[in-house]
Amino acid sequence: MNYMELLGALAPEAIVVLTALVALAVDLLVLRQAPQNARQVVAVSITAVGILAAIIALSVAAPSPPWMDGLLINHSTTAFLKQTLLVLALVAGILSIQSRFTQHTGEYVTLLLLSTVGMMLLVSSDNLLLMFVALELTSLPLYVLTAFNKESPSSSEASLKYFLIGSLSAACLLFGISLLYGLSGGITWTQLATTLRAGSEPIVYLALILTLIGFAFKVAAAPFHLWAPDVYQGAPTPVAAFIASGSKIASFYMFARIFMAALPGTAGSAAWSGATPGWVPLVAALAVVSMILGNVAAIAQRSVKRLLAYSAIGHAGYALLAILSNTEQGMGSLLYYVVTYAVTAMGAFAVVNVIERDVQAPNGESLTDFAGLSRRSPLLSLCLLVFVLSLAGIPPLAGFFGKFYIFIATAQSGTSQGLIWLVMLAIGTSAISLYYYLQILKQVYVVESVGQPTPVQLRPAESACIVAMACTVLILGCAPNWLINRFSPNSTEVRRAGVITKPSTTLELAAEIHPRITAPLGTATGLVQKRPQFETTTANAQ
């Protein structure tokens, strides 16, 4: 174990942390007296340079074997996800230029970058402890960022709710993790995967439930979604956009890996007839509630940010389907889905951000502020059309293939189409969802604006970002194979990330992934009884 090598493997994260510190120092020491706009431009420029450097560092880094029993893993999928996260952070930074919600530009950018580092660590760990630390590193800056608009009471209100409920869920998660450790005697995926079995101890279910809650909160799955509408509406829009995009990618990836790779033995089944207990039926329950509540409650919303929050809850429901399919394909579909969703949501929020700045209403935007947008800014309307139709799942936009891939993966995973009921529900709710998405488009294209339509003020960097995201959504929809191949189940690297095809072959695969599988065997002090065939299988695998 060489610390220089470790630093090499962590170079992208280190670059981002350094950037955060530089941005803070420059803002506080040099630009204290400079006008607000200049400070923002300088801070975001420093961020851009740092993020570009980190992206380059990620793309040149050779895939390395897992460090310290999977404390740190680096392969092409994690590198790609980290690059996506960095780009999203940069877009969130660009969107906040010229916004008036804060004087503390340096702190703002620093917190944004620190949260990004948390997400980057979250996607590259196979270890319960680092997972928890990374999750907290992601969340704490986001709580503060949510409260950044000191002039708006709803911002601090949202932040307080976010923080308190977040603490509650973190407590649950920590409890769940400690139970998992107690049951298995290990904190790495391989140790967990080889010892935990469904049906052996009721306490396994308690551990599963508590762990699940921690993640359900992060991805805003109902009924742990309560914070989301408040936070999306109250937080400064660029922050809301980042919570809706970057945080979703990182949390969903970790969510899927901990359950698919570390807990395959406790999966159970959610088939319509013949369900067996485990985490799959629990995730199915969350998915069902999220899809129904998110899509139906969105219909009655009058604020676009709130509407997007409920739509995000619905989308979390679809993504949960990918997790509960518990296959390699499910993992691929999840990643395609959350990446395209993140880009789309970021784009939609970017448009909202422009409108919000334009109307300057004290209580934030509402649906009617979008009236007649097509005559005020055809470009912005066209981009919004792309984002909204993609969220609604209209081909050939990326949103359609994301959903389609998930439906395919889910339909295929159950034995004899046992999960088709979930697919039917998902398709049904997505048909409902078109109704409220059309409400937005109706305002944009049909309803007349109040008074004389004046052109919307757009900054070049901002409009470039929005157009680029709209093009990405269109291109990823027209050529989905490019992105899907990056998460291809055939690549051995994804396997190393721990996606396991069939629960029955867990042990063989676990042994294949990790030659030192004997270590947890000797030290397992958990409450779980080891089965006799357990040793023989492992021995054979060796």
Partner 1 sequence: MEHDAVQHAVQSGSKIQDLAWLVLFLPLLGSVMAWFITRRDRVLTTVFTLGTVILSFILSVTLFAVFGAASAECTPFQFLHIGDLKVDIGLHLDALSTLMLLVVTGVASLVMIFSTSYMHDDASYSRFFCTLGLFVFSMLGIVLANNFVMMFVFWELVGVSSYLLIGFWFERPAAGDAAKKAFLSNRLGDFGFILGILMVWSAVGSVNFQEIQASLIKNPAAMGVWAGLAGLLVFMGAMGKSAQFPLHVWLPDAMEGPTPVSALIHAATMVAAGVYMLCRVFFIYTVPAGWPPALSFLGDLSAATVVAWIGGITALLAALTAVQQNDIKRILAYSTLSQLGYMVMAVGLGASTGNPSASMFHLFTHAFFKAMLFLGAGSVIHACHHEQDIWRMGGLWKKMPVTFWTFAIGTAALAGLPPFSGFYSKDEILATALEANPILCGLAVLVACLTTFYMCRLVLVAFFGTTRTESAEHAHESPRSMTIPLMFLAVPSVVAGWFPVGEFIAGHFGVRSHEGVGRVVAQEGIGPMLTMILGGIDHALFAPFNHNALAAFLGLFGVLLGGSAAWALYWNQARDPLPGLFTNLSRAMRKKFYFDEIYDSVFIPIHDTVACIMAWFDRWIIDGLGVRGIHGTIEIVGRALRLVQTGNLQTYAFLFAAGVAFLAFIALQ
The rounded distance, in Å, linking the Cα atoms of 458 and 467 is 12
The only residue of 34, 168, 174, 467 in contact with partner 1, by rule CB under 8 A: 168
In the complex, the smallest distance separating the C-beta of residue 208 from partner 1, rounded to whole angstroms, is: 7
405 binds partner 1 (CB under 8 A): yes
- CB neighbour class for 536 (10 Å; exposed up to 12, middle 13-18, buried from 19): exposed
Scored b (16 or more CB within 10 A) or e, 394-406 reads beebbbbbbbbbb
311 binds partner 1 (CB under 8 A): no
Which window, 61-69, 80-88, 121-129, 431-439, contacts partner 1 (CB under 8 A)? Answer: 431-439
Single-letter code of the amino acid located at 278: G
In the complex, the smallest distance separating the C-beta of residue 56 from partner 1, rounded to whole angstroms, is: 30
Angle 153-461-481 (CA atoms, 0-180°, nearest 5)? 100
The only residue of 7, 56, 424, 471 in contact with partner 1, by rule CB under 8 A: 424
Number of residues located near partner 1, criterion CB under 8 A: 78
In the complex, the smallest distance separating the C-beta of residue 60 from partner 1, rounded to whole angstroms, is: 29
In the complex, the smallest distance separating the C-beta of residue 369 from partner 1, rounded to whole angstroms, is: 18
The only residue of 260, 400, 514, 520 in contact with partner 1, by rule CB under 8 A: 400
User: Maximum Cα–Cα distance for the chain, whole Å?
Assistant: 79
In the complex, the smallest distance separating the C-beta of residue 260 from partner 1, rounded to whole angstroms, is: 16
**Residue 144 vs 438, nearer CB to partner 1:** 438
Pick the closest to residue 264 from 178, 316, 204, 321 (CA basis).
204
524 binds partner 1 (CB under 8 A): no
- The DSSP output letter for 449 is P
In this structure, what token pair is assigned to residue 495? 């396997």
Binding mask 48-87 for partner 1 (x = CB under 8 A): ----------------------------------------
301 binds partner 1 (CB under 8 A): yes
In this structure, what token pair is assigned to residue 380? 């912005």
The rounded distance, in Å, linking the Cα atoms of 507 and 527 is 19
User: Which 379-398 residues touch partner 1, going by CB under 8 A?
Assistant: 389, 394-396
User: Which 183-202 residues touch partner 1, going by CB under 8 A?
Assistant: 202
329 binds partner 1 (CB under 8 A): yes
Q: Tell me how far apart the terminal alpha carbons of the chain are, to the nearest angstrom.
A: 25
- The DSSP output letter for 68 is T
434 binds partner 1 (CB under 8 A): yes
In the complex, the smallest distance separating the C-beta of residue 39 from partner 1, rounded to whole angstroms, is: 25
Scored b (16 or more CB within 10 A) or e, 292-329 reads bbbbbbbeebebbbbbbbbbbbbbbbbbbbbbbbbbbb
Which window, 41-49, 62-70, 477-485, 519-527, contacts partner 1 (CB under 8 A)? Answer: 477-485
In this structure, what token pair is assigned to residue 180? 């998992």
The rounded distance, in Å, linking the Cα atoms of 237 and 229 is 13
**Residue 393 vs 498, nearer CB to partner 1:** 393
The only residue of 83, 115, 125, 169 in contact with partner 1, by rule CB under 8 A: 169
In the complex, the smallest distance separating the C-beta of residue 107 from partner 1, rounded to whole angstroms, is: 18
The rounded distance, in Å, linking the Cα atoms of 26 and 386 is 38
In the complex, the smallest distance separating the C-beta of residue 488 from partner 1, rounded to whole angstroms, is: 8
Q: Secondary structure of the chain: what % helix, strand, coil (to 5)?
A: 75, 0, 25
The rounded distance, in Å, linking the Cα atoms of 290 and 231 is 17
450 binds partner 1 (CB under 8 A): no
Q: C-alpha distances in angstroms, 58 versus 12, 55, 503? A: 6, 5, 32
In this structure, what token pair is assigned to residue 512? 């294949």
445 binds partner 1 (CB under 8 A): yes
Which window, 27-35, 85-93, 255-263, 327-335, contacts partner 1 (CB under 8 A)? Answer: 327-335
- The DSSP output letter for 186 is -
332 binds partner 1 (CB under 8 A): yes
Residues contacting 182, CB < 8 A, separation 6+: 526, 527
260 binds partner 1 (CB under 8 A): no
Which window, 46-54, 71-79, 210-218, 463-471, contacts partner 1 (CB under 8 A)? Answer: 210-218
290 binds partner 1 (CB under 8 A): no
110 binds partner 1 (CB under 8 A): no
**Residue 65 vs 378, nearer CB to partner 1:** 378
The rounded distance, in Å, linking the Cα atoms of 188 and 174 is 15
Residues contacting 368, CB < 8 A, separation 6+: 302, 443, 447
In the complex, the smallest distance separating the C-beta of residue 152 from partner 1, rounded to whole angstroms, is: 7
The only residue of 152, 191, 326, 537 in contact with partner 1, by rule CB under 8 A: 152
In the complex, the smallest distance separating the C-beta of residue 437 from partner 1, rounded to whole angstroms, is: 10
